[in-house]
Chains A and B, each alone.
Chain A
Amino acid sequence: MTKPNIQTDDEVREMTDEEYAELLATGWTLESEETSDGD
Protein backbone atom coordinates (compact mmCIF):
# COMPACT_ATOMS: atom_id res chain seq x y z
CA MET A 1 0.00 0.00 0.00
CA THR A 2 1.24 3.47 -0.78
CA LYS A 3 2.17 5.38 2.33
CA PRO A 4 0.34 8.68 2.93
CA ASN A 5 2.08 11.98 2.64
CA ILE A 6 3.48 14.18 5.36
CA GLN A 7 3.55 17.95 4.88
CA THR A 8 5.86 20.35 6.69
CA ASP A 9 4.98 23.91 5.78
CA ASP A 10 4.89 23.93 1.96
CA GLU A 11 6.87 20.72 1.45
CA VAL A 12 4.82 17.58 0.79
CA ARG A 13 6.47 14.17 0.56
CA GLU A 14 5.71 10.52 1.11
CA MET A 15 6.24 9.30 4.64
CA THR A 16 9.33 7.30 5.43
CA ASP A 17 8.86 3.77 6.73
CA GLU A 18 9.66 5.01 10.23
CA GLU A 19 7.14 7.84 10.05
CA TYR A 20 4.51 5.50 8.68
CA ALA A 21 5.13 3.05 11.50
CA GLU A 22 4.66 5.85 14.01
CA LEU A 23 1.39 6.82 12.33
CA LEU A 24 0.13 3.22 12.43
CA ALA A 25 1.04 3.08 16.11
CA THR A 26 -1.49 5.82 16.81
CA GLY A 27 -4.22 3.54 15.50
CA TRP A 28 -4.38 5.19 12.11
CA THR A 29 -6.24 3.28 9.44
CA LEU A 30 -6.80 4.03 5.81
CA GLU A 31 -10.57 3.96 6.24
CA SER A 32 -12.51 4.99 9.30
CA GLU A 33 -14.86 2.67 11.09
CA GLU A 34 -18.49 3.25 10.19
CA THR A 35 -20.26 3.73 13.47
CA SER A 36 -22.82 6.29 12.46
CA ASP A 37 -25.86 6.60 14.62
CA GLY A 38 -26.80 10.12 13.71
CA ASP A 39 -26.70 12.68 10.93
Chain B
Amino acid sequence: MATNFPSSLDSLSNPSSGDSLSSPSHSGQHADANDAIEALEAKVGVDGSAVTTSLDYKVAASKAVTDKVDPSGATSNQVLKYNGTKFVPSTGASVTISDTPPSSPQAGDQWYESDTGRQFIYYDSVWVEIGNATDIAGVIQPKQITDLTAVTSLTSDDVFAVVDNPSSAVAANKITYGNLVTAMSSSLAPGLVLVKTQTVGTGVSVIEVTDAFSSTYDNYRLTYSGGTGSTWITFNCQFGVGTTWTTNNYYGGSAYFNVGGGTWQLAVNNGGSSFAGGNAMTDFCNVSLEIQNPYLARRTHAQGPYNRLDNGQVGNTWVEQASQTQFTSFKLATSSGTVTGGTIRVYGYRN
Protein backbone atom coordinates (compact mmCIF):
# COMPACT_ATOMS: atom_id res chain seq x y z
CA MET B 1 0.00 0.00 0.00
CA ALA B 2 1.49 3.32 -0.99
CA THR B 3 1.26 6.13 1.58
CA ASN B 4 -1.47 8.75 1.26
CA PHE B 5 0.38 11.32 3.46
CA PRO B 6 0.31 14.32 3.33
CA SER B 7 -2.90 14.36 1.29
CA SER B 8 -4.57 12.28 4.02
CA LEU B 9 -3.54 10.18 6.99
CA ASP B 10 -2.52 6.56 6.41
CA SER B 11 -4.29 3.66 8.12
CA LEU B 12 -1.55 1.09 8.82
CA SER B 13 -2.43 -2.42 10.02
CA ASN B 14 -0.55 -3.86 13.00
CA PRO B 15 0.06 -7.69 12.90
CA SER B 16 -1.05 -9.83 15.82
CA SER B 17 1.41 -11.92 17.85
CA GLY B 18 0.18 -15.23 16.31
CA ASP B 19 0.25 -14.05 12.71
CA SER B 20 2.64 -15.70 10.26
CA LEU B 21 5.28 -13.64 8.41
CA SER B 22 3.36 -14.13 5.20
CA SER B 23 0.01 -12.89 6.37
CA PRO B 24 0.05 -10.00 6.65
CA SER B 25 3.14 -9.74 4.51
CA HIS B 26 6.09 -8.77 6.71
CA SER B 27 7.94 -7.14 3.83
CA GLY B 28 4.82 -5.33 2.74
CA GLN B 29 4.44 -3.81 6.23
CA HIS B 30 8.04 -2.53 6.13
CA ALA B 31 7.42 -1.03 2.73
CA ASP B 32 4.31 0.81 3.96
CA ALA B 33 6.18 2.15 7.03
CA ASN B 34 9.10 3.32 4.90
CA ASP B 35 6.76 5.11 2.48
CA ALA B 36 5.12 6.97 5.37
CA ILE B 37 8.49 8.00 6.87
CA GLU B 38 9.73 9.32 3.54
CA ALA B 39 6.50 11.31 3.12
CA LEU B 40 7.01 12.82 6.60
CA GLU B 41 10.60 13.82 5.79
CA ALA B 42 9.50 15.41 2.55
CA LYS B 43 6.86 17.40 4.42
CA VAL B 44 9.27 18.61 7.12
CA GLY B 45 12.02 19.35 4.65
CA VAL B 46 15.75 19.42 5.04
CA ASP B 47 17.66 22.29 6.69
CA GLY B 48 17.45 25.39 4.55
CA SER B 49 14.92 23.72 2.34
CA ALA B 50 14.05 25.57 -0.85
CA VAL B 51 10.92 23.49 -1.31
CA THR B 52 8.18 26.04 -0.73
CA THR B 53 5.75 23.36 0.50
CA SER B 54 8.10 22.14 3.24
CA LEU B 55 7.64 23.15 6.86
CA ASP B 56 11.32 24.12 7.15
CA TYR B 57 10.89 26.61 4.29
CA LYS B 58 7.66 28.07 5.73
CA VAL B 59 9.04 28.43 9.26
CA ALA B 60 12.10 30.22 7.94
CA ALA B 61 9.94 32.59 5.90
CA SER B 62 7.71 33.32 8.87
CA LYS B 63 10.66 33.99 11.14
CA ALA B 64 12.03 36.47 8.65
CA VAL B 65 8.85 38.49 9.13
CA THR B 66 8.64 38.28 12.89
CA ASP B 67 12.30 39.29 13.16
CA LYS B 68 11.21 42.63 11.65
CA VAL B 69 8.63 43.32 14.39
CA ASP B 70 9.43 44.67 17.82
CA PRO B 71 6.20 45.38 19.71
CA SER B 72 7.89 46.07 23.02
CA GLY B 73 6.56 49.14 24.80
CA ALA B 74 3.31 49.21 22.81
CA THR B 75 0.35 51.01 24.38
CA SER B 76 -3.34 51.24 23.52
CA ASN B 77 -4.36 52.72 20.15
CA GLN B 78 -0.83 52.52 18.76
CA VAL B 79 -0.03 51.05 15.39
CA LEU B 80 3.16 49.39 14.02
CA LYS B 81 5.18 51.71 11.86
CA TYR B 82 8.35 50.63 9.93
CA ASN B 83 11.33 52.66 11.06
CA GLY B 84 13.64 51.43 8.31
CA THR B 85 14.80 48.42 10.35
CA LYS B 86 11.82 47.07 12.17
CA PHE B 87 8.12 47.64 12.74
CA VAL B 88 7.85 49.40 16.08
CA PRO B 89 4.90 50.87 18.04
CA SER B 90 3.79 54.33 16.91
CA THR B 91 0.86 56.64 17.32
CA GLY B 92 0.92 57.10 13.54
CA ALA B 93 -0.46 60.15 11.78
CA SER B 94 -3.46 61.14 13.87
CA VAL B 95 -6.45 63.40 13.46
CA THR B 96 -7.33 65.46 16.51
CA ILE B 97 -10.60 67.33 16.92
CA SER B 98 -10.08 70.19 19.33
CA ASP B 99 -10.24 73.97 19.54
CA THR B 100 -6.64 73.91 20.74
CA PRO B 101 -3.71 72.37 18.88
CA PRO B 102 -2.66 68.86 19.99
CA SER B 103 0.53 68.60 21.98
CA SER B 104 3.70 66.89 20.71
CA PRO B 105 2.53 66.59 17.12
CA GLN B 106 4.25 64.37 14.57
CA ALA B 107 4.71 65.20 10.91
CA GLY B 108 1.55 64.35 9.05
CA ASP B 109 -0.73 64.76 12.03
CA GLN B 110 -3.95 66.58 11.29
CA TRP B 111 -5.87 68.94 13.56
CA TYR B 112 -9.49 69.92 13.00
CA GLU B 113 -10.03 73.16 14.88
CA SER B 114 -13.52 72.49 16.14
CA ASP B 115 -14.51 76.06 16.94
CA THR B 116 -13.47 77.51 13.59
CA GLY B 117 -14.00 74.60 11.21
CA ARG B 118 -10.44 74.95 9.87
CA GLN B 119 -8.16 71.96 9.34
CA PHE B 120 -4.39 71.89 9.67
CA ILE B 121 -1.64 69.41 8.92
CA TYR B 122 1.63 69.35 10.85
CA TYR B 123 4.31 69.98 8.30
CA ASP B 124 7.89 71.26 8.70
CA SER B 125 7.27 71.67 12.45
CA VAL B 126 4.34 74.09 12.01
CA TRP B 127 0.60 73.71 11.61
CA VAL B 128 -0.28 74.51 8.00
CA GLU B 129 -3.89 75.15 7.12
CA ILE B 130 -5.13 72.64 4.56
CA GLY B 131 -6.51 74.15 1.37
CA ASN B 132 -5.14 77.60 2.01
CA ALA B 133 -1.75 77.28 0.43
CA THR B 134 -2.37 78.97 -2.90
CA ASP B 135 -4.80 81.34 -4.49
CA ILE B 136 -7.37 79.76 -6.77
CA ALA B 137 -8.71 81.82 -9.65
CA GLY B 138 -12.14 83.16 -8.82
CA VAL B 139 -11.94 82.23 -5.17
CA ILE B 140 -11.39 84.88 -2.57
CA GLN B 141 -8.79 83.67 -0.15
CA PRO B 142 -8.85 84.79 3.46
CA LYS B 143 -6.62 87.72 4.05
CA GLN B 144 -3.60 86.91 6.11
CA ILE B 145 -2.23 89.10 8.82
CA THR B 146 1.28 88.23 9.87
CA ASP B 147 1.83 90.88 12.49
CA LEU B 148 -0.21 90.03 15.54
CA THR B 149 1.33 92.63 17.76
CA ALA B 150 -1.46 95.05 16.93
CA VAL B 151 -4.15 92.63 18.09
CA THR B 152 -2.68 91.13 21.21
CA SER B 153 -5.70 92.19 23.23
CA LEU B 154 -7.98 89.84 21.27
CA THR B 155 -8.48 86.54 22.99
CA SER B 156 -11.73 84.97 21.77
CA ASP B 157 -11.58 81.87 19.59
CA ASP B 158 -14.53 82.83 17.41
CA VAL B 159 -14.03 82.65 13.68
CA PHE B 160 -13.03 85.57 11.54
CA ALA B 161 -12.12 85.61 7.86
CA VAL B 162 -8.87 87.36 8.56
CA VAL B 163 -6.58 84.45 9.29
CA ASP B 164 -3.30 84.71 11.04
CA ASN B 165 -0.33 82.89 9.60
CA PRO B 166 -0.15 79.14 10.21
CA SER B 167 2.54 79.22 12.84
CA SER B 168 0.62 81.71 14.91
CA ALA B 169 -2.65 79.83 14.54
CA VAL B 170 -1.78 78.27 17.83
CA ALA B 171 -1.38 81.63 19.49
CA ALA B 172 -3.95 82.60 22.05
CA ASN B 173 -4.20 86.15 20.79
CA LYS B 174 -5.51 85.49 17.32
CA ILE B 175 -7.97 87.69 15.48
CA THR B 176 -11.56 86.56 15.80
CA TYR B 177 -14.91 87.75 14.52
CA GLY B 178 -16.34 87.97 18.00
CA ASN B 179 -13.50 90.06 19.25
CA LEU B 180 -13.64 92.39 16.30
CA VAL B 181 -17.38 92.89 16.71
CA THR B 182 -16.87 93.57 20.37
CA ALA B 183 -14.06 95.94 19.65
CA MET B 184 -16.04 97.72 16.97
CA SER B 185 -19.14 98.00 19.12
CA SER B 186 -17.21 99.45 22.00
CA SER B 187 -15.48 101.93 19.78
CA LEU B 188 -18.43 103.14 17.74
CA ALA B 189 -18.46 106.88 17.68
CA PRO B 190 -21.51 108.87 18.71
CA GLY B 191 -23.68 110.02 15.82
CA LEU B 192 -26.69 109.30 13.67
CA VAL B 193 -27.91 105.72 13.45
CA LEU B 194 -30.51 104.71 10.88
CA VAL B 195 -33.58 103.48 12.74
CA LYS B 196 -36.10 103.01 9.98
CA THR B 197 -36.53 103.37 6.23
CA GLN B 198 -39.95 103.63 4.64
CA THR B 199 -40.54 103.86 0.90
CA VAL B 200 -43.57 105.96 0.06
CA GLY B 201 -46.15 104.50 -2.30
CA THR B 202 -48.21 106.12 -5.04
CA GLY B 203 -50.95 108.70 -4.58
CA VAL B 204 -50.63 108.87 -0.81
CA SER B 205 -52.07 111.68 1.28
CA VAL B 206 -51.45 110.20 4.74
CA ILE B 207 -48.18 108.52 5.69
CA GLU B 208 -47.90 106.80 9.05
CA VAL B 209 -44.45 105.83 10.34
CA THR B 210 -44.65 103.51 13.33
CA ASP B 211 -41.84 102.23 15.53
CA ALA B 212 -39.85 105.37 14.82
CA PHE B 213 -39.04 106.35 18.41
CA SER B 214 -38.05 104.23 21.37
CA SER B 215 -36.03 104.23 24.53
CA THR B 216 -32.88 103.53 22.50
CA TYR B 217 -32.37 107.17 21.58
CA ASP B 218 -33.50 110.45 23.09
CA ASN B 219 -33.26 112.57 19.95
CA TYR B 220 -34.00 111.88 16.28
CA ARG B 221 -33.77 113.22 12.77
CA LEU B 222 -36.56 112.52 10.29
CA THR B 223 -36.15 113.10 6.57
CA TYR B 224 -38.36 112.62 3.54
CA SER B 225 -36.73 113.09 0.16
CA GLY B 226 -36.90 111.77 -3.37
CA GLY B 227 -40.67 111.92 -3.75
CA THR B 228 -42.89 114.31 -5.68
CA GLY B 229 -46.18 116.01 -4.96
CA SER B 230 -49.21 116.28 -7.17
CA THR B 231 -49.48 119.96 -6.27
CA TRP B 232 -48.11 122.42 -3.72
CA ILE B 233 -48.24 120.69 -0.39
CA THR B 234 -47.63 121.40 3.25
CA PHE B 235 -47.15 118.33 5.43
CA ASN B 236 -49.33 118.55 8.53
CA CYS B 237 -47.57 116.39 11.08
CA GLN B 238 -48.58 114.64 14.28
CA PHE B 239 -46.92 112.44 16.86
CA GLY B 240 -48.58 109.25 18.03
CA VAL B 241 -48.38 105.94 19.82
CA GLY B 242 -48.79 103.15 17.30
CA THR B 243 -51.55 104.48 15.04
CA THR B 244 -53.24 106.52 17.74
CA TRP B 245 -52.41 110.13 16.99
CA THR B 246 -52.26 113.12 19.31
CA THR B 247 -54.49 115.80 17.81
CA ASN B 248 -53.98 118.75 20.15
CA ASN B 249 -51.42 120.78 22.06
CA TYR B 250 -49.13 121.62 19.15
CA TYR B 251 -47.61 125.04 19.90
CA GLY B 252 -45.25 127.10 17.81
CA GLY B 253 -45.45 128.06 14.19
CA SER B 254 -43.44 129.04 11.18
CA ALA B 255 -41.35 132.10 10.42
CA TYR B 256 -40.54 132.64 6.82
CA PHE B 257 -39.35 135.32 4.47
CA ASN B 258 -41.79 136.32 1.78
CA VAL B 259 -39.58 136.61 -1.22
CA GLY B 260 -42.09 138.41 -3.37
CA GLY B 261 -43.16 140.89 -0.72
CA GLY B 262 -39.74 141.29 0.83
CA THR B 263 -41.13 140.86 4.31
CA TRP B 264 -40.94 138.41 7.15
CA GLN B 265 -44.13 136.60 8.05
CA LEU B 266 -45.28 134.41 10.90
CA ALA B 267 -47.79 131.58 11.05
CA VAL B 268 -48.79 130.98 14.63
CA ASN B 269 -49.82 127.57 15.95
CA ASN B 270 -51.38 127.93 19.38
CA GLY B 271 -52.42 124.51 20.58
CA GLY B 272 -53.39 123.29 17.13
CA SER B 273 -54.17 119.77 15.95
CA SER B 274 -50.94 119.36 13.97
CA PHE B 275 -47.89 121.30 12.85
CA ALA B 276 -46.38 122.20 9.49
CA GLY B 277 -43.39 119.90 9.14
CA GLY B 278 -42.31 120.28 5.53
CA ASN B 279 -43.41 120.79 1.99
CA ALA B 280 -43.65 119.21 -1.44
CA MET B 281 -44.32 120.28 -4.98
CA THR B 282 -44.29 118.59 -8.33
CA ASP B 283 -40.53 118.17 -8.31
CA PHE B 284 -39.59 117.61 -4.67
CA CYS B 285 -40.59 116.48 -1.21
CA ASN B 286 -38.76 118.03 1.69
CA VAL B 287 -39.08 117.07 5.33
CA SER B 288 -36.04 117.45 7.52
CA LEU B 289 -36.97 117.61 11.17
CA GLU B 290 -34.88 117.54 14.31
CA ILE B 291 -36.97 115.95 17.05
CA GLN B 292 -36.12 116.05 20.74
CA ASN B 293 -37.50 113.77 23.46
CA PRO B 294 -40.30 112.05 21.50
CA TYR B 295 -40.11 108.92 23.66
CA LEU B 296 -39.13 110.55 26.93
CA ALA B 297 -41.94 111.53 29.28
CA ARG B 298 -41.18 115.15 28.49
CA ARG B 299 -42.53 117.74 26.09
CA THR B 300 -41.47 116.94 22.54
CA HIS B 301 -39.92 119.59 20.32
CA ALA B 302 -39.22 119.62 16.58
CA GLN B 303 -37.65 122.05 14.15
CA GLY B 304 -37.14 122.06 10.40
CA PRO B 305 -37.41 123.92 7.09
CA TYR B 306 -40.66 125.38 5.81
CA ASN B 307 -40.61 126.32 2.13
CA ARG B 308 -43.79 127.20 0.26
CA LEU B 309 -42.15 128.64 -2.80
CA ASP B 310 -45.49 128.95 -4.55
CA ASN B 311 -46.23 131.57 -1.94
CA GLY B 312 -42.67 132.81 -1.96
CA GLN B 313 -42.19 131.59 1.60
CA VAL B 314 -38.80 130.41 2.76
CA GLY B 315 -38.16 129.84 6.43
CA ASN B 316 -38.35 127.46 9.32
CA THR B 317 -40.91 125.79 11.48
CA TRP B 318 -40.81 125.10 15.22
CA VAL B 319 -43.21 123.12 17.34
CA GLU B 320 -43.67 122.08 20.92
CA GLN B 321 -45.94 119.13 21.58
CA ALA B 322 -47.03 120.05 25.07
CA SER B 323 -48.14 116.63 26.28
CA GLN B 324 -45.61 114.35 27.91
CA THR B 325 -46.68 111.29 25.95
CA GLN B 326 -44.02 108.73 25.10
CA PHE B 327 -44.47 108.83 21.35
CA THR B 328 -43.42 105.96 19.08
CA SER B 329 -44.88 107.12 15.74
CA PHE B 330 -45.00 109.99 13.32
CA LYS B 331 -47.62 110.97 10.77
CA LEU B 332 -47.49 113.23 7.70
CA ALA B 333 -50.73 114.32 6.04
CA THR B 334 -50.79 116.42 2.92
CA SER B 335 -52.59 119.76 3.06
CA SER B 336 -53.79 119.06 -0.46
CA GLY B 337 -53.12 116.56 -3.19
CA THR B 338 -50.94 113.50 -2.78
CA VAL B 339 -47.30 112.48 -2.86
CA THR B 340 -45.67 109.63 -4.71
CA GLY B 341 -42.41 107.87 -4.11
CA GLY B 342 -39.39 108.92 -2.16
CA THR B 343 -38.07 107.61 1.11
CA ILE B 344 -38.67 108.51 4.71
CA ARG B 345 -35.76 107.82 6.99
CA VAL B 346 -35.62 108.03 10.75
CA TYR B 347 -32.24 108.38 12.46
CA GLY B 348 -31.46 108.22 16.14
CA TYR B 349 -28.69 110.18 17.80
CA ARG B 350 -26.37 107.70 19.49
CA ASN B 351 -24.76 109.34 22.49
Q: Interface size of B by Cβ–Cβ distance < 8 Å?
A: 37
Chain A interface, DSSP helix/strand/loop, else mixed: loop
Interface residue from A19, A29, A31, A32 paired with B206 (Cβ < 8 Å): A19
Cα separation A23 to B332 with both chains bound (whole Å): 12
Cα separation A39 to B210 with both chains bound (whole Å): 35
Cα separation A34 to B309 with both chains bound (whole Å): 11
Chain B interface, DSSP helix/strand/loop, else mixed: loop
Chain B residues within 8 Å of A30, by CB: 230-231, 336-337
Question: Looking across the interface, which residue of chain B has its beta carbon closest to that of A9?
Answer: B210
Chain A residues within 8 Å of B200, by CB: 7
Interface residue from A8, A10, A23, A38 paired with B260 (Cβ < 8 Å): A38
Instruction: Flag whether A12 is at the interface (Cβ < 8 A).
Output: yes
Chain A residues within 8 Å of B310, by CB: 32, 34-36, 38-39
Interface residue from A7, A33, A34, A38 paired with B208 (Cβ < 8 Å): A7
B336 A10 Cβ-Cβ under 8 A:
no
B260 A4 Cβ-Cβ under 8 A:
no
Chain B residues within 8 Å of A37, by CB: 258, 260-261, 311-312
Question: Looking across the interface, which residue of chain B has its beta carbon closest to that of A6?
Answer: B206
A32 B232 Cβ-Cβ under 8 A:
yes
Instruction: Flag whether B302 is at the interface (Cβ < 8 A).
Output: no
Cα separation A7 to B205 with both chains bound (whole Å): 8
Chain A residues within 8 Å of B309, by CB: 38-39
Cα separation A29 to B337 with both chains bound (whole Å): 6
Question: Looking across the interface, which residue of chain A has its beta carbon closest to that of B309?
Answer: A39
Chain A residues within 8 Å of B334, by CB: 4, 28
Cα separation A12 to B260 with both chains bound (whole Å): 38
A5 B312 Cβ-Cβ under 8 A:
no
A7 B206 Cβ-Cβ under 8 A:
yes
Interface residue from B205, B232, B273, B274 paired with A4 (Cβ < 8 Å): B205
B205 A39 Cβ-Cβ under 8 A:
no
Chain B residues within 8 Å of A31, by CB: 230-231, 336-337
B202 A5 Cβ-Cβ under 8 A:
yes
Chain B residues within 8 Å of A4, by CB: 203-206, 334, 338
A10 B258 Cβ-Cβ under 8 A:
no
List the 6 closest A-B pairs by CB distance, nearest first.
A38-B312, A12-B201, A38-B260, A4-B205, A38-B259, A37-B260
- Chain B residues packing against A (C-beta within 8 Å): 198-211, 230-233, 236, 243, 258-261, 273-274, 309-313, 333-338
